[in-house]
Amino acid sequence: MVRQLKTRILITRAVFDEVLAYLRLHFDVEDNQSDVPFSADELVRKLADKDGALTVPTDRIDGALLKACPTLKAVCNIAVGYNNIDLDACTAAGVMACNTPGVLDDTTADTAWALMLATARRVVESDAWLRRGEWTGWSLQDWLGTDVHHANLGIIGMGRIGQAVGRRARGFDMQVIYHNRHRLPIDVEKAANAQYVSKEALLGSADFVVLTLPYALENHHYIAEAELALMKPTAILINIARGGLVDDAALVDALQTGRIAGAGLDVFENEPALNPAFIQLDNVVLTPHIGSATRATRLRMAMLAAQNLVLALTGGTPPNLLNPNV
């Protein structure tokens, strides 16, 4: 009698113990609890005999990988973004692809506000100054920042996260404007406390510009030299979405020359190898892609990805299937 082999999966990075235990109930699991990222070649070798994978945004799933991994049936990303996955190639190969929307909206919106407040009120810069022992007494004109309350908040990309950012602005009595590929229904606009405007109008009038739109090739360098030139010299740019949406070299130049007042950045082009010029700037707050980084939220994300994978490989329909035509 031939023993049927258990379905095999790869978890590409370290996950919470609860998630690992859940997946081991269903599959033969190869994990990576050492959390050392796989190179592109290593990822292909690891997936060559696997039925499914739990991936992260740094894992590139493209046509070449899929061709080398013919047994692969499902790839479930621990992220709401999925620009690391070639959906067309997955569909052509009959591979289901999933993401984890919804569970990180509020946490990521909180991060936008953390960056706004830290940048506007020069929290990081003044903290470093204090720690260096340079504070010798109070002065009326020390560390003058920018008010957040009553300011004009511009949100580009008004999906779930953008709407959550907008709702929080009520507590600061801000005027909220937004730009989106499609205008939202009136009731959604009211709930998000937001008014629709053109991209140019938003850039020209917002005191804070927050990016929450998804990355796609057509959005590459969505904010570049021309867009930065439209912004107020007192404006602050916040990016909690994806690196590549902003031309980082153009942003560095705008910050160095005072064309805009500051920036709060959680994501970068070519991260983690960010533009080194950012490190030398005092008017930018930098965080290492921590938008969803609370334990509760990251656990929910990883568990949702795991649940997607279980359904995909046991005959069900994952709730977050990105390519239903597969």
The residues carrying an active-site annotation are 242, 271, 289
The H-assigned helical ranges of the chain are 17-24, 40-47, 63-68, 87-93, 105-120, 123-131, 160-168, 186-191, 199-205, 225-230, 248-257, 295-313
Placement of tokens 């030398």 in the chain: 280
Neighbouring CB atoms inside 10 A of 48's CB total 14
Dihedral-angle region of residue 13 (phi above 0 means left; psi in -120 to 50 means alpha; beta otherwise): beta
Is the dihedral angle over the CA atoms 157, 304, 75, 55 positive or is it negative?
Answer: positive
Closest CA to 206 of 124, 106, 269, 116: 116
Tokens describing residue 196: 């629709």
